[in-house]
Amino acid sequence: MQVYVEKTKCTGCAHCHDNCPVSVFEMKDRSGSDVNADSAPEAEQWKGTTSPDVIAKWGSKEDGHNHFADKYDGKSGGISVAVNGPSCIMCQACLIECEGECIVITDDSGTVYHSIYE
């Protein structure tokens, strides 16, 4: 299984980190050197700018999350990195909990799944 996060759309909500049963995701400091340590293609790596559409949707939401914080505070607000993609068991928890709709999983047969937030 290959897993990556489209970094330009990640809100830092940490739902993936909190719900994945096999610890595929780690929350990273947005300014850290390891923020692109997954298999995201070049265009989806973090370069310091979040999608305007995602900020418009989530930037002012008062839902208990620390969206788009500059630093990971231990709970939310950082950026998610799929550091352990091969351990994914395709439980789909992250695919339905991702605010930014920015998780992409490719299974062993090559089928690609994108997260859709409900």
- What are the residues binding ligand SF4 (CB under 6 A)? 3, 5, 10-16, 19-22, 24, 80, 88-95, 97-100, 102-103
Instruction: Give 42 or 89: the residue with its C-beta nearer to ligand SF4.
Output: 89
Helices (H), 1-118: 15-19, 52-58, 93-97
CB of 80 to ligand SF4, least distance (A): 4
Nearer to ligand SF4, 35 or 102 (CB): 102
- Residue 33 CB, shortest distance to ligand SF4, in Å, is 19
Strands (DSSP E) found in 22-116: 25-28, 79-82, 103-106, 112-114
- ∠ CA 35-43-91, rounded to 5°: 65
